[in-house]
Amino acid sequence: MRKYILTTLLTCSVFAAVAQNRITFDTSKIDIPMTRVIWHENIDKEQKRTDRVDGKIDNFLKLTNNEDLNIQITDVILRRVDELQIDIERMEGDNNYKIGQLRSVRELLQAIAIRAKDKEIAPLIPQLFNSYEECMRRQQAGESLMPVFEKLPYQGAEVLSTIFIQAKELPEIKKMVFLKKAKINPSSILSGIAPFENEPFADSLIVLAADKIPLEVYTYAQATKTVAARIIRRNTNPKVQTIARLSSIMNGTLFLPFLDELLNKQLEIDDIKAVVENELAYYKLLVKTQVKYYNRISAGDTPVLAPVLFQMLERKATDVFVNVMNDLHDSPDAVRMRVSDPLSSEEIYYLIVTTEEVIYTSTYTKLYDRMMTRFPGRRSDSLLMTVHFDRFKKFIKMAANYNRLDDFLKSMPELRSTQLMHAFVNGLQKTNSLEDAVDVADSYGSITNVDLQKFLKQQVKQNYEKSLQEKDRKGEVIYNILQTLFKSASDPSMDLSAILGIPPVYKVDYSSIASDSGGVVQHVFFYGDEDGITSFRNFMGMFNGKPEWKVVTGKEWVTINSTKGKPYTIYANLPLDYKQDLDAKAQESLINYLTKNNINPSIVVHRGHSYHLKYTIQQMLPSSRIVMLGSCGGYQNLAKILNVNEDAHIISTKQVGSYSVNEPILRALNEDIRNGKNIEWIPIWQQITASVKSDPKASELMKDYVPPHKNLGAIFIKAYRKATGEM
C-alpha cells in the first residue's frame, strides 16, 4: 500500500507517503495511526522483494510459463495485498489486533518470497492467498481452520501453517500436513517424523521410507541418538532391519549398492567385505551387479537402490580409473593405461559411459581401442548384448563426439548396425526424460558420415510421420524439432528462431545483455584448488597492466572495469582455500553483494573442473544470458542452466576445458562487448578458431568446443519447452 494519511493524538496534521508505484491502479486513502505506519511500510518492502524474485523489479512476477497465471500472481502480490491492508485498517479491533493482522500479512509475503521460485509453490500463490483470507475470516468467527488446510495441496498447507502459529488447532494441522506430505513426498518422512514418534502411523511410514528412500533411512539410522534412528531401529520389517544393520558397519555406504542382492540372498555381507578393500575387485563386482540389475530393469523389475549402485559405479570409474589416466596424459601408454590392464571390455564400456563429463579425449580413444580388442570375434554388437544395451545411446553419442562411431558400426554386421541406429533414434518419446533425445541431437552435430546423416534424417522423418498418425503429441514435438535441427546443421540460412518459435540462436543483441544504465556485467566463478589458482592467474593475465582495464582486488573478489568503450564490469571471486571452504564463502559474499546492489550479471563463466559445475549452476542468477561452461555440457547441466534462464546461450566443450582455448574465447567476447557490438556467434567463432591455429594443441582442443548456435542439445531443450510449456 502506497498512500497513507497518518494521524496521532498530538497533531492533526496530515502526512501523505507515496511509495513507488508498481502497477496501474489507485489505492484509497485511509487514516492510519503513526504506530502502524511502519507495519504498512514493512509490507510494502516485502511486496517489492517478492516482485524481485524473478530477477527484476518491474511490476510483474514471471514465475511460471503461463502468462495468465503470472498476471494472477502479480495481481495477488501487488493489488490484493494493498486491498487487504485497507481491509485490516477498517476492521473492528484495537491497535494490537490490527498490528497482529498486518504482521501475518508480512509473514505470508515473506513465506511466499522464500519459496516463490519452487515450481510447486508459484502456481499455488492465488489459491494460497484466498486460503489465507478464509483463515482470517474463520478465526474472526471462531471457526475451525482445518477445512481450509484440507483443501490445499501439502505445499500450500505447509506454507500457510507457518503463518497461523497461534491457532489452537496447530498440532492437528501440522499432523495433517505431515501425513499429506509423506504420502506424496516420502523424502520428507525422516526429517519430519520426530514429533510423531508415538503416533500409530510412525512405524508404517518408516517401512514406506525403506521402500522409497532406503538411502535416507540408512543415513538417519547412523545418527543413533536421534528420534528418527530410534524409530528405525525398533522396526521389525526385514528391509528396515537390513538397512539398520548396514548403517552400523564401517564404510557401510560401500555395501548399500548391493542391498537388493542382500535382501534376495544373492550376496552375503561377507561376500562384499571380501572386496571392499580392493578397488579393482570392488569395481568388477559393481559392473557385474549393474549388468544384472539392468537386465531386470529392462524386464520391468525395480532393484532396490539401483540408482545408488550406478552412482557408485560412476564414482569408482571416475576416481579409481579415469582420473588416474587423465592425470598421466603426458606419460607413456604403458604407464598411463596400466590401471585399465585387468579390465574386460564390459568393464571398460562402463568406464566410458559413466565418465562423459570428465574423460579426456585421449583417455577415451585409448580406452575405446582397448575395449574393441577385448571381446570375442571383435563384433561390437556382442558387447552391447552382453551389457543388455545399458546406456547404449550415451555410448553412441560419445562415439560420435570422438569420431569413433563409424568404426564401431563397421565392427558388426550391417543389418545389426542398422537395427542399432534404429533403436538409437526410435521411441524417444517413451522415456520420462529428454536426455536420450538430447543425445540424439548432440550426436548428429558430430557425425560426418553422409550416409549415416541421411539415415538418421530418414528415421527422424518416419518417426515424426508415425507420431502424427498416432496423434502422439510428445513424439510429434520431439521429432519435428530434431528434423528441423538436422536440416539446419547443413543450412545455416534457416531461421531456427522463426521455425521453432524460440529467441535467436545465432546472435545475442548487445541491448539484451546491457543493464538500464547501458553497462554489461560478467560473473566468473573460481574454485580454490590447485587448478583453480592456476586458472585465476591465467585469467588475470588478460587484464593486469592493460590500459583498457582497471583492476581492484578486494578480500574476497576482484572487480575489473573497462576504461575504454562501453561500461563493462567483471566480478570474479578469489580462488581462496577450498579446504577451509573459503572459496565457497567468497562466492556467497560476492552474490550477496550483487543481489543487494541490484547488479544483474548477464554473462556467467565457470572456471573449474566439471565436478564444481553444479555449484556454479546452483548460484547462477536469472539474468545469466551467456553462459560459458568450460566443461562438458551434458543434458543435466544444460537443463539446469535453462531452468535458470530459458534463453541462455551456452558455450560448452565435449571434454575438459583448457585455458589455451578459454582465454581466446573470453578475450574475443570481452572485446566485442566492450565495443558495444552484438555477439554474432558464427563470425566470432571463426575469429577464435583462426586465432589458435598457430598452436597445434589449442587448435585441436578448439574442435571440442561447442558454440551456442551449434549446441543442438540446448536448442532442442529450448524448443521442446517452448512447444510444450514444460520447464
Give the containing element (helix H, strand E) for 526: strand 520-526
473 and 512 part of one domain: no
Is 516 in the same domain as 476?
no
Shared domain check, 159 and 100:
yes
Q: Distance (Å, rounded) from C-alpha 676 to C-alpha 673?
A: 5
Whole-Å CA distances, 308 to 116, 147, 256, 634: 31, 41, 8, 20
**501 found inside a domain:** no
Residue 401: what pLDDT?
Answer: 85
pLDDT above 90 as % of the chain: 68
Instruction: Name residue, grid cell 571392499.
Output: 276
**What 8-state DSSP symbol labels residue 137?**
H
pLDDT attached to residue 494: 86
Confidence of residue 5 (pLDDT cuts 50, 70, 90): very low
DSSP states of 99-112 as a string?
A: HHHHHHHHHHHHHH
Q: Which has more pLDDT, 491 or 438? A: 438
In the prediction, which pLDDT does 727 show?
Answer: 56
Q: pLDDT value at position 11?
A: 30
Would you call 641 exposed, middle or buried from its count of C-beta atoms within 10 A (0-12, 13-18, 19+)? Answer: buried
Q: How many CA atoms lie within 13 A of 540 on its CB side?
A: 17
**Confidence (pLDDT) at 652:** 87
Same domain assignment for residues 379 and 233: no
Question: 333 lies in a domain?
Answer: yes
Same domain, 178 and 206: no
Q: Are residues 672 and 596 in the same domain?
A: yes
Q: What is the pLDDT of residue 140?
A: 86
| Amino acid 29: pLDDT | 59
Up-side HSE of residue 166: CA atoms within 13 Å toward CB?
A: 7
Per-residue pLDDT, averaged over 373-401, amounts to 89
**What does the pLDDT look like over 431-471, one tens digit per residue?**
888 999 999 998 888 888 888 999 999 999 999 999 999 99
| 260 shares its domain with 337 | no
Structure-model confidence comparison of residues 396 and 65, the more confident one: 396
Residue 491 shares a structural domain with residue 552:
no
Task: Please give the tally of structural domains in the chain.
Answer: 4
Are 538 and 552 contained in the same domain? yes
**Of 639, 713, 611, 2, nearest to 314 (Cα)?**
611
Distance in angstroms (rounded) separating the CA atoms of residues 61 and 314: 40
Q: Enumerate long-range contacts of 387-393, CB under 8 Å, 24 or more apart.
A: 387/291, 387/294, 387/346, 387/349, 387/350, 388/291, 388/294, 388/295, 388/298, 389/298, 389/423, 390/290, 390/291, 390/294, 390/353, 391/353, 391/354, 392/420, 392/423, 392/424, 393/424, 393/436, 393/439, 393/440
Among 183, 210, 226, give the residue marking a domain's end: 183
Q: Is residue 502 part of a domain?
A: no
Q: What is the pLDDT of residue 9?
A: 32
Per-residue model confidence (pLDDT) at position 18: 33
Average pLDDT over residues 30-36: 86
Position 631 scores a pLDDT of 62
Q: What pLDDT, on the 0 to 100 scale, is given for residue 16?
A: 32
**pLDDT of 4 strictly over 60:** no
Distance between CA atoms of residues 318 and 322, nearest Å: 5
Residue 636 pLDDT more than 80? Answer: no
pLDDT, average across residues 396-415 = 90
Cα-based distances in Å from 374 to 345, 368, 380, 392, 653: 5, 10, 10, 18, 30
Each residue's pLDDT tens digit, 194-240: 999 999 999 999 999 999 999 899 999 999 899 999 999 999 999 99
Indicate the helix (H) or strand (E) that contains 550: strand 549-553
Q: Give pLDDT, residue 655.
A: 66
* Mean of the per-residue pLDDT values of the chain: 89
pLDDT band at 117 (very low <50, low <70, confident <90, very high): confident
Residue 23 has pLDDT above 90, yes or no: no
Tell me what pLDDT residue 19 has. Answer: 37
pTM: 0.70
pLDDT on residue 576: 95
Q: Is residue 88 part of a domain?
A: yes
Residue 31 confidence class, pLDDT cut points 50, 70, 90 = confident
At 682-712, the pLDDT tens digits run 999 999 999 989 888 888 888 888 899 988 8
Q: Which domain holds residue 457?
A: 279-305+313-496
pLDDT per residue over 322-364, tens digit each? Answer: 999 998 988 999 999 999 999 999 999 999 999 988 888 889 9
> What is the chain's percent helix, strand, coil content, to nearest 5?
60, 10, 30
pLDDT digits (tens, 9 = 90+) for 58-93: 899 889 888 999 999 999 999 999 999 999 998 888
Same domain, 41 and 73: yes
- Is 371 found in the same domain as 351? yes
Structure confidence at residue 27 (pLDDT): 42
Structure confidence by residue, pLDDT tens digits, 254-270: 999 999 999 999 999 99
Provide mean pLDDT across the span 176-201: 93
- 351-360, pLDDT tens digit by residue? 999 998 888 8
Answer yes or no: is pLDDT of 634 > 80: no
359 belongs to a structural domain: yes
Query: pLDDT tens digits for 558-588?
Result: 999 999 999 999 999 999 998 899 999 999 9
- Domain boundary (183, 212, 246) is at 183
Query: Per DSSP, what are the bridge partners of residue 552?
Result: 559
92 is a domain residue: yes
Q: Which three cell numbers stand for residue 574?
A: 578469489
pLDDT of 55: 82
Q: Cα separations (Å) of 77 from 51, 66, 82, 104, 396?
A: 8, 17, 8, 14, 49
Q: Which of 138, 155, 183 is the last residue of a domain?
A: 183
242/329 same-domain check: no
664 within 8 A of 692, measured Cβ to Cβ: yes
Q: Is the pLDDT of residue 632 over 70?
A: no
Report yes or no on 94 lying in a domain: yes
Measure CA of the first residue to CA of the last residue in the chain; give whole Å: 33
